[in-house]
Amino acid sequence: MSAQRFEGRAAIVTGAARGIGRASAARLGGEGARVALLDIDAEVVHATAAELRDDGIEADAYVCDVSSEDSVEAAVAAAADRFGRIDVLHANAGILHAGAATEETLADWQRMMAVNVTGIFLTVRAVLLHMLRQESGAIVLTGSMSGFIAEPAFLCYCTSKAAVNHMARQLALDYATRGIRVNAVCPGWVDTHFGDVLALSEAEIEEGVRATVPMGRQAAPEEVAAVVAFLASDDASYVTGHCLVMDGGYTLP
């Protein structure tokens, strides 16, 4: 791991109970950040924060539904009050389900957009109010390679992630003169609980990965977290509006 790039800084990570969000919180905290973990799963996010504290990381858990304006504003305000500032945001919370247009209900569509798109907007907006006062900050959104391509029977998800990928560019343009950088990390297959959501067995996932990913494997959440930490750090001080695809070559053919 690199030196303490986030010493003295405070970070918020959404969707932090498990998977990419957990790995991101651990990485940022391991490099010196004080970390606020936001997640809708109260039991797991508190357990995750406790585990990070056991590892010597200053970590606090906040129960937050990113699709709720009141919930987001309360959690961000509490974290800002606790730490005194917000230097880094990893807006990571998201959901996934499969389906073509005729297989999706309006409720499916609205829920996907509420979490994956509106949730990021609400979180970024709440954090920006603090970063603008500081005239500094780094924001990383979790987009997806699926926001750049069409995939069979993934209408809602691909559309939502296309919005996130573009949101990163728009936010970067709007706030570049205020000392705030915004980028997106756009993973492909990652070894998280999303396989369970799609009701795929481990063997089915491995077969699909071997057939479609030139590198022949999924990313570990920690590999995504390493990219998040880079984009949020001063090592990327001249990088903004970039959507960094890390998909093992999936989108190359």
61: helix, strand or coil: strand
Catalytic residue among 157, 175, 238, 250: 157
Phi, psi of 65 (to 5 degrees): -100, 105
Cα–Cα dist 132/129, whole Å: 5
Active site includes 238?
A: no
Cα–Cα dist 104/156, whole Å: 8
Q: What is the 3-state secondary structure (H, E, C) of 154-170?
A: EHHHHHHHHHHHHHHHH
Query: Tell me, what DSSP letter sits at residue 13?
Result: E
Q: How far is CA 102 from CA 99, 117, 149, 155, in A?
A: 8, 22, 20, 10
Quote the Cα angle for 244-249-251, to 5°: 75
55: exposed, middle or buried (C-beta count within 10 Å: 0-12, 13-18, 19+)?
exposed
Side chain identity, residue 251: T
Which H/E stretch holds residue 35? strand 34-39
Give the residue ranges of DSSP H helices in 67-217: 69-83, 106-113, 119-134, 155-175, 194-197, 202-212
Side chain identity, residue 41: D
Give the count of beta carbons closer than 10 Å to the beta carbon of residue 204.
Answer: 12
Name the packing angle between helices 19-30 and 42-54 (round to 10°).
30
The residues that are catalytic are 157
